[in-house]
Amino acid sequence: MPNKQSHNTAGPIGIFDSGYGGLTVLRQIRQLMPEYDYLYLGDNARAPYGTRSFEVVYQFTLQAVSRLFSMGCPLVVLACNTASAKALRTIQQNDLPTIDPTRRVLGVIRPTAECIGNITQSRHIGIFATPGTIRSQTYDIEIGKLFPDIKVTGQACPMWVPLIENGEYRDDGADYFVRKYINQLLSRDPDIDAIILGCTHYPLLYDKIRHFTPSDIRLISQGEYVAKSLADYFGRHRDMESRITRNGRIRFFTTENPTSFSDNATCFLGSSVEAERVSL
Ligand code: DGL
C-alpha cells in the first residue's frame, strides 16, 4: 500500500485487466494520448475473472490497484468490465479514502453506457459480457439512468474469454460458441439494432462476431469511447492531468509468464512488447 509520502506525486496511468483484454483499451487510449506514460498490469495467472464471485473479483482488483499505486500511478483505469462492475464502486467509496484520497480509479462501463443513446434507433440493445458483468446488471442500471427508454438484454458469454486467453480465438472451433451466444441473444429480443461488446477481451473476437451477426446490427467496441472519456476527464480535472508523466513510455506487467505475455501482447498491440513479472 502506498504511504502518505506518495501523495500527490506524478507518475504513469495504470491500466488494469484480468489478462489481455485491457490491451484493446490501452491501444485506443494511447492512440489518442501518446504523450503520457502507462503501466499495464494483466492478472493472467488468475484470469478469467468473469466466472468468479463478487468478493473474489473485488479482492483481486483491490490488490492490483494497490500494486499500481505503489508503482507510482496517480490514476488507474480498470480496463475490465467485470472488475468495473464488481469492484469499482466499493474501491472508490470505501478504499480510496483510506489508501490515498488524492488518487483516482475509473472504470469502463459508464463511458460505454453514455455512447449508446445516439447509436440505437430501435431503442433495443444487447450486451455481450462475462457472466459476472451480466449478473451484476451494471449495464442495465447505468443505461437505465441515462436512457430509461432503452430496453437492455444481456447475454453472458462464458466461453469467449477462455478462447481468447488460450489463443484459440481465430480457430474454427471458436465459431460454435460465437454463433451460440449471438443466436441466444437475438432469439430473446429480435428488435436489437446495436450490441455492446461489454468485455474488453471481445474486440479480439470482433471479426468472428461480425461475421455471424446480421449486418444491420451495430457492434460497439468500447475502447474508443473509454479513450475519449478519459481525455474528457483530464480536460475537467487539470490537477490530475498535471500529475501524469509525459515521456510516451509504456511498461507491461503480468502475474503469469512474461515471455508468453510478451508474445501474445505483441500480436494484440501490433508492436513489440517486453513484459515483466509481478506478484500481487
Ligand atoms: N476483460 C474483462 C472484462 O472486460 C474480463 C474477462 C475475464 O477475466 O473474465 O470483463
- What is the whole-number distance in angstroms between the Cα of residue 79 and the centre of ligand 1? 9
Whether 115 sits among the annotated catalytic residues: the reply is: no
Output the CA angle 148-228-146, nearest 5 degrees: 10
38-76 pLDDT, tens digit each: 999 999 999 999 999 999 999 999 999 999 999 999 999
What is the pTM assigned to this prediction? 0.93
Bridge partners (DSSP) of residue 197 are 128, 221
Show which of 196, 221, 246 is a domain's final residue: 221
Q: Are residues 235 and 141 in the same domain?
A: no
Q: Are residues 243 and 204 in the same domain?
A: no
Q: What's the pLDDT score for residue 167?
A: 85
Query: What's the CATH number where 52 sits?
Result: 3.40.50.1860
Q: What's the pLDDT score for residue 5?
A: 43
Q: Are residues 129 and 194 in the same domain?
A: yes
- Mean pLDDT score of the chain: 94
Q: Are residues 203 and 237 in the same domain?
A: no
- What is the whole-number distance in angstroms between the Cα of residue 131 and the centre of ligand 1? 10
Q: What's the pLDDT score for residue 4?
A: 46
Output the CA angle 247-250-251, nearest 5 degrees: 135
**Cis bond leading into 214, ω under 30°?**
no
Q: Are residues 215 and 115 in the same domain?
A: yes
127-180 pLDDT, tens digit each: 999 999 999 999 999 999 999 999 999 999 999 999 988 888 889 999 999 999
Q: Are residues 212 and 229 in the same domain?
A: no
**Cell output for 150:** 432503452
Query: Which amino acid residue places its CA nearest to atom 2 of ligand 1?
Result: 80
Cα 106 to the center of its chain, rounded Å:
10
Counting Cα atoms < 13 Å in the Cβ hemisphere of 179 gives 6
Q: Is 3 exposed, middle or buried (0-12, 13-18, 19+ CB in 10 A)?
A: exposed
Q: Are residues 98 and 133 in the same domain?
A: no
- What is the whole-number distance in angstroms between the Cα of residue 263 and the centre of ligand 1? 20
**Cell output for 201:** 477481451
Place of cell 501524469: 244
Show which of 176, 195, 221 is a domain's final residue: 221
Q: Are residues 121 and 202 in the same domain?
A: yes
Q: Are residues 164 and 181 in the same domain?
A: yes
Residue 139 belongs to domain spanning:
110-221
Return phi, psi of residue 16, to 5°: -120, 140
Q: Are residues 206 and 239 in the same domain?
A: no
Q: Are residues 12 and 100 in the same domain?
A: yes
pLDDT over 90 (residue 8): no
Please give the Cα distance from 18 to 2 (Å, whole number): 22
Radius of gyration of the chain (CA): 18
Ligand 1 atom closest to residue 199's alpha carbon, by position in its atom list? 4
Q: Give the pocket of ligand 1 (CB within 6 Å).
A: 17-19, 21, 47-50, 80-82, 130, 133, 161, 199-201
Q: Are residues 71 and 202 in the same domain?
A: no
Cα 244 to the center of its chain, rounded Å:
20
Domain count, the chain: 2
